[in-house]
Amino acid sequence: MTDTADRTASSTSSTSSTDGYLDELGAFLTSEWDPDLTVAAWWEKLGTAGWSAPAWPEEHYGRGLSPADAGRVARAIAEHGALGAPGGLGLLLAGPTIVAHGSDEQKKVWLRDIVTGQQGWCQLFSEPGAGSDLAGLNSRAVRDGEEWIVNGQKVWTSAGHISDMGMLIARTDPDAPKHRGITYFGIDMHQPGIEVRPLKEMTGRALFNEVFLTDARTPADSVIGDYGQGWIVANTTLAFERAGLGAGSGHAAASAATPGTISGDLDRRAADFVGTRRAGGGGPSALAGAYALILETARATGQLDDPILRQDLMRLYTANELARVGGQRLKAEKAAGRDIAGFGNLAKLSMSTILRLSRELGLATLGAAGMLHAYANDDRKVIEALPTPDLGPTITELALFSPGPPIYGGTDQIQRNIIGERVLGLPKEPGPAKDTPYAELPKNG
Q: Just list the catalytic residues.
A: 241
φ, ψ of residue 260 to 5 degrees: the values are 100, 170
184, 225 Cβ separation under 8 angstroms = yes
175, 439 Cβ separation under 8 angstroms = yes
101, 94 Cβ separation under 8 angstroms = no
Q: What gap in Å lies between CA 320 and CA 435, rounded to an integer?
A: 43
**DSSP classification of residue 336:** T
Q: What gap in Å lies between CA 181 and CA 204, rounded to an integer?
A: 38
Q: Are strands 208-219 and 194-199 parallel, antiparallel or unpaired?
A: antiparallel
157, 210 Cβ separation under 8 angstroms = yes
CB-count burial class (<10 Å; 0-12, 13-18, 19+) for 270: buried
Please tell me the chain's helix, strand, coil percentages from 3-state DSSP, rounded to the nearest 5: 50, 15, 40
271, 35 Cβ separation under 8 angstroms = yes
Contacts of 378 (CB under 8 A, 6+ apart): none
Q: Are strands 121-124 and 165-171 parallel, antiparallel or unpaired?
A: parallel
Q: What is the DSSP string of 255-320?
A: -SSPPSSSSS-TTSBGGGGTT----SS--HHHHHTHHHHHHHHHHHTT-TT-HHHHHHHHHHHHHH
CA max distance for the chain: 71
Q: Are strands 147-154 and 140-144 parallel, antiparallel or unpaired?
A: antiparallel
187, 216 Cβ separation under 8 angstroms = yes
